[in-house]
Structure 1
Amino acid sequence: MDLIEFWKRSRETIDDLVSKFVDGVKEWEIMEMSKYVMKDGKRFRGTLVFLFNEALGGNEKDAYNAALATEILHSASLALDDIVDYDVTRRGMRSAWAIYTNRRVIFVSNFLIPTALKMISEYGKEALDISVDLWKDTAAGALKDIYGNNQEYLLTIELKTASLFKLPTMLASFSSRRTDNLDHLMEAGKYLGMVYQIIDDYVDCVKLDPSNLGGSARQLFELTSGRVESYVKIEYSKLKEKYLLNINSIQVNDEYMDLLKALPDFLGAGLLSEAGIKNKILLDFV
């Protein structure tokens, strides 16, 4: 099985978990908004829970709540980001706040976040404590995304994006009962998340007019005086190397090692291909 096959299989499972979750919400208005906020995601982060859980020898069903909670937190963070950034579209559709108003989306996010954390609490106090800290890091990253300076670019993307990549790799250590690998798993998640964000920011710098850049993409453009490509190549290589160093330090089932090692390029290629610039730069990265 390759990563695309694993992702497609996992996405179907996660979509089913999401559907059952929102259908189980008793308040119809919260159910309606929750369904909209969580619809049609790529489910990358939930897939990471399943992939690392299975690589560590865990049972898929033991990771259901971890994957679902990860997707709930990610979806809530995107809904809130759209309000802050005044983004009226998300995944080719109108953003949740543009339909339901920002007040109502904030309220439903305040329902979703503790609900997800309650699911995580089933894996124990340590898993919950780490998850709370990661959510706090995400909030700090959102502030740096708006108000931070370009000299803190790498810290910005670590906090705002990598925190919610560390979450699934961390939870996989608890769902698989392999917490002996916790530190390396969280480091792997961090570098994978930074890889994802630096490519995402590169895409924005290539596709958008500089005057329209915001957040970490604007920081990247300013940091490099617009010459983003060479900087991104160098940092991508460094981040990928650090990711692989941590992966190689984890004892996993042999059949999954190649999948785990391929993740940075898989995510990077996906972002570049989606933006229509795959053939321009991908070979330089991989």
Structure 2
Amino acid sequence: MDLMEYWFKTRALIDNLVEDFLKGSQDWEVMEMSKYIMRDGKRFRGTLLFLFNEALGGEERDAYPGALATEILHSASLALDDIVDYDEIRRGMKAAWAVYTNRKVIFVSNYLIPTALKIISEYGDKALRISVDLWKDTAIGALKDMYGKEDEYIRVIELKTASLFKLPAALSSFSSKRREYLDSLLEVGKDLGIIYQIIDDYVDCVTQEREKLVGSAKQLYSLTSGRFESYVRLKYSAYKEHYENLIKSLPIKGELLDQLLALPDFLAFGLMGEAGIKNKIF
């Protein structure tokens, strides 16, 4: 099974977990808004948890809580980001705030976030503490994304994006009962998250006018004075190499090792392909 097949299989599984979670809501209006916020996600982050859990010898069912919680947190973060950025479209449809109003989406997000953390607590206090810290990092990153300096670019994207890649990687050490690899997995998640955001910002710089760039994409453009291709190429190669060395240090079996090593390119080419731009940097 290649990465695309694995992702399709796991995305369907996560969609079922999300559906079951939403059915358990006691309040109809909360359920409807939560359903809208969590609709049609790519489920990349939840897929990472399943992939790392399996690679470390864990049972699939033990990854269910972490994958669900990761997707809840990610969806809530996007709903809040859309409010801050005044983005009216998300995943080809109206953003949640444009349908339900800012206030309602903020209230529902404030319901979803602690609910996800409670689910994570099934893995124990340490898993919960790490998850709370990573969510705090995400919040700080969102602030720096709007108001940070261009020379903080890498730190900004580590906080705002890589934190929610660190989360599933870290939780896989708990679901697989291989906690001795927690620190390495946090680093793995950081590398993947930075790679993802660098390429996402690269796509924005290529496809949007300079005046329309916001957040970390604007920081990338300013940091490089518009010559972002060579910078992105350099950083991508460095983080990919670090990621590969970390993966090779983990006790992962053959086929899954190949899949994990292919993840950086899978994410990068997926983002560029989705945007319809040709590969100019690899």
Residue 218 of structure 1 corresponds to 218
User: How many aligned positions are there?
Assistant: 282
TM-score for both structures, normalised by structure 1: 0.98
**What's the secondary structure of 1:252's corresponding residue?**
coil
Residue 280 of structure 1 corresponds to 279
Deviation at 1:54, TM superposition (A): 0.3
Which stretches in structure 1 are left out of the alignment for 5+ residues? none
Residue 186 of structure 1 corresponds to 186
> What is the rounded CA distance, in whole Å, between the counterparts of 1:181 and 1:253 in structure 2?
15
Matched, 1:5 2:9: no
Contact 1:57 1:253 in 2 (8 A): no
Identical amino acids, percent of aligned pairs:
67
TM-score for both structures, normalised by structure 2: 0.99
Residue 99 of structure 1 corresponds to 99
Which stretches in structure 2 are left out of the alignment for 5+ residues? none
Aligned structure 1 segments of 4 or more residues deviating by more than 4 angstroms? none
Residue 246 of structure 1 corresponds to 246
What one-letter code is carried by the residue in structure 2 that aligns with 1:280? N
Matched, 1:233 2:247: no
Deviation at 1:252, TM superposition (A): 1.5
What one-letter code is carried by the residue in structure 1 that aligns with 2:134? L
> What is the rounded CA distance, in whole Å, between the counterparts of 2:177 and 2:60 in structure 1?
12
Deviation at 1:162, TM superposition (A): 0.2
Deviation at 1:259, TM superposition (A): 0.5
What one-letter code is carried by the residue in structure 2 that aligns with 1:130? I
> What is the rounded CA distance, in whole Å, between the counterparts of 1:196 and 1:50 in structure 2?
18
Residue 28 of structure 1 corresponds to 28
What one-letter code is carried by the residue in structure 2 that aligns with 1:170? A
Residue 195 of structure 1 corresponds to 195
Deviation at 1:253, TM superposition (A): 2.2
> What is the rounded CA distance, in whole Å, between the counterparts of 2:57 and 2:254 in structure 1?
11
> What is the rounded CA distance, in whole Å, between the counterparts of 2:249 and 2:120 in structure 1?
26
What one-letter code is carried by the residue in structure 2 that aligns with 1:125? D
Q: Please report the RMSD computed on the Cα atoms of aligned residues, expressed in angstroms.
A: 0.7
What one-letter code is carried by the residue in structure 2 that aligns with 1:116? A
> What is the rounded CA distance, in whole Å, between the counterparts of 1:62 and 1:191 in structure 2?
25
The superposition leaves residues 134-155 of structure 1 with CA deviations (integer Å, 9 ceiling, x where unpaired) of 0000001001000001000000
> What is the rounded CA distance, in whole Å, between the counterparts of 2:92 and 2:254 in structure 1?
39
